[in-house]
């Protein structure tokens, strides 16, 4: 695991710096420096295990830690710190934001399924120890919970689509991290499903944003007016990815429901508050984007005809995976996730009944059918004038006569609340709090070592 861990760090460094611009090189070095901090922590944990004759086999290490948590408190805390750096949790989230300078396929790869998922993979594997070891568990839960809530808030203030996706990625990784830190079978079940749905949906969204940018000349959400008409297929794919991230009955929301249930069972009020406010912020920034895509008034030119076949192939593949994972959610749960959870914890499983999962899957099929039902229809459809909530002055210019008979242009712009949710206001607070939490946890775990010796 350690070898693959460092290989992903090196490969990500090369991918982020691919264009060799000054910005790309600076962000590539920020990534490798931050992740090497986690790599050093990983090394120290291995040295600790070797010096004290503890098992270097991961499965044996987890079994030992679950039985004697005090014996492995320091290496587990160090491994958790390594997972937090790789998963881009605060204050290490800036390396993932900087990774956006890489080409779009690289962004999709880094943000969805490889680099960042290595961190939460390690944390999920360590979850049986977190269930019985207070210090690393509290560190992981608090850092993950704060990252989820605060990065969801910061995403509200972003109009750059790739930056919204980046903050959404960091926030969802925070939720997965918090689930792993809780360490119950139900929380781990939710964490694994969050990993799966986040991977497929976010890959689709990054590829959609890249294709849209190439054809409309911008990645700004405010420039995506009428995208439903300008790029009808791409807009539907983008809407599918967004709905998978936050709309019922798609799998991501089902996993968040299970997360809430598992958090409630812990009785930790702070966790529940972080989840509630973070989820509300998630709804706000996704709903803004979805609403922008849904506006179809007007007769814009279709610029989708020049999209290359290779791009459509990648988009169709990811859209297909989103649909398959949502529809086969009950099968994935019973055939893949529950067996792992029961093997790791020797008891427990899912928080949501199979019947409810099948109901969600059937509803997801209906939503998907409605979303794509209009594709391929003849363009010879009845056209009606744009309704502008008043006497229309010029439909083409989207103007109407206001209450004083003056022409008023109809515009649709989102609210970003930068003064409240801006990065400059929130990031220092979150980063400072997470640094204090991690330093205190590592110091506490290290203080246990002399008494054990």
220-261 pLDDT, tens digit per residue, is 888 887 788 888 889 899 999 999 988 888 888 888 888 888
Percentage of the chain beyond pLDDT 90 is 48
320-345: string of b/e by CB count within 10 Å (b at 16+)? ebbbebbbebbebbeeebbeebeebb
Place of tokens 């609340």: 417
Residue 371, classified by CB atoms within 10 Å of its CB into exposed (0-12), middle (13-18) or buried (19+), is middle
- Give pLDDT tens digits for 405-448: 778 777 667 778 888 898 999 999 999 999 999 999 999 998 87
- Give pLDDT tens digits for 101-127: 777 787 777 777 778 899 999 999 999
Q: How far apart are CA 1 and CA 150, in angstroms?
A: 30
Residue 404 confidence (pLDDT) above 80: no
Residue 61 confidence (pLDDT) above 80: yes
Going by pLDDT thresholds of 50, 70 and 90, the confidence category of residue 388 is low
Q: How far apart are CA 386 and CA 406, in angstroms?
A: 18
CA angle, corner 183, sides to 261 and 248, nearest 5? Answer: 35
Going by pLDDT thresholds of 50, 70 and 90, the confidence category of residue 322 is very high
User: What is the crossing angle of helices 269-294 and 161-182, to 10°?
Assistant: 150
Q: 392 pairs with which residues across the strands?
A: 400
Listed residue (138, 453, 199) closest to 326, CA to CA: 199
Q: How far apart are CA 10 and CA 6, in angstroms?
A: 6
């Amino acid at each position: 695991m350690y070898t693959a861990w460092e290989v992903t760090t090196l490969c990500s460094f090369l991918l982020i710096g691919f264009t060799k611009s000054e910005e790309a090189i600076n962000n590539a070095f920020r990534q490798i420096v931050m992740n090497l901090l986690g790599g050093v922590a990983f090394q120290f944990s291995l040295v600790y295990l070797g010096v004290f004759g503890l098992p270097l086999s991961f499965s044996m290490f987890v079994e030992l830690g679950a039985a004697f948590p005090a014996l492995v408190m320091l290496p587990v805390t160090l491994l958790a710190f390594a997972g937090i750096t790789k998963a881009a949790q605060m204050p290490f989230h800036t390396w993932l934001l900087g990774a956006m300078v890489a080409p779009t396929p690289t962004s999709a790869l880094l943000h969805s399924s490889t680099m960042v998922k290595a961190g939460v993979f390690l944390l999920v594997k360590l979850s049986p120890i977190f269930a019985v070891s207070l210090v690393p568990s509290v560190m992981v839960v608090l850092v993950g919970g704060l990252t989820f809530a605060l990065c969801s808030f910061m995403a509200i203030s972003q109009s750059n689509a790739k930056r919204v996706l980046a903050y959404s990625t960091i926030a969802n990784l925070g939720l997965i991290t918090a689930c792993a830190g809780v360490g119950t079978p139900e929380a781990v079940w939710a964490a694994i499903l969050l990993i799966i749905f986040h991977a497929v949906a976010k890959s689709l969204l990054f590829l959609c944003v890249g294709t849209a940018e190439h054809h409309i000349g911008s990645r700004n959400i405010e420039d995506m007016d009428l995208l439903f008409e300008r790029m009808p297929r791409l807009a539907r794919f983008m809407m599918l990815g967004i709905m998978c991230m936050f709309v019922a009955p798609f799998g991501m929301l089902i996993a968040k429901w299970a997360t809430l249930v598992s958090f409630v069972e812990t009785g930790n009020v702070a966790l529940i508050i972080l989840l509630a406010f973070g989820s509300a912020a998630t709804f706000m920034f996704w709903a803004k984007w979805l609403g922008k895509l849904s506006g179809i008034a007007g007769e814009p030119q279709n610029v989708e005809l020049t999209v290359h076949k290779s791009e459509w192939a990648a988009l169709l593949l990811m859209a297909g995976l989103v649909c398959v994972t949502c529809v086969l959610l009950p099968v994935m749960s019973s055939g893949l996730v529950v067996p792992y959870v029961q093997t790791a914890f020797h008891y427990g499983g899912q928080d949501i009944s199979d019947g409810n999962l099948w109901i969600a899957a059937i509803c997801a099929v209906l939503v998907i059918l409605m979303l794509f039902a209009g594709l391929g229809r003849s363009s010879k459809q009845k056209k009606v004038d744009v309704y502008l909530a008043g006497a229309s002055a010029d439909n083409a210019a989207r103007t109407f006569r206001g209450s004083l008979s003056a022409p008023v242009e109809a515009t649709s712009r989102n609210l970003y609340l930068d003064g409240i949710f801006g990065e400059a206001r929130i990031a220092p607070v979150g980063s400072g709090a997470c640094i204090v939490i991690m330093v205190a946890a590592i110091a506490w775990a290290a203080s246990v070592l002399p008494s054990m010796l």
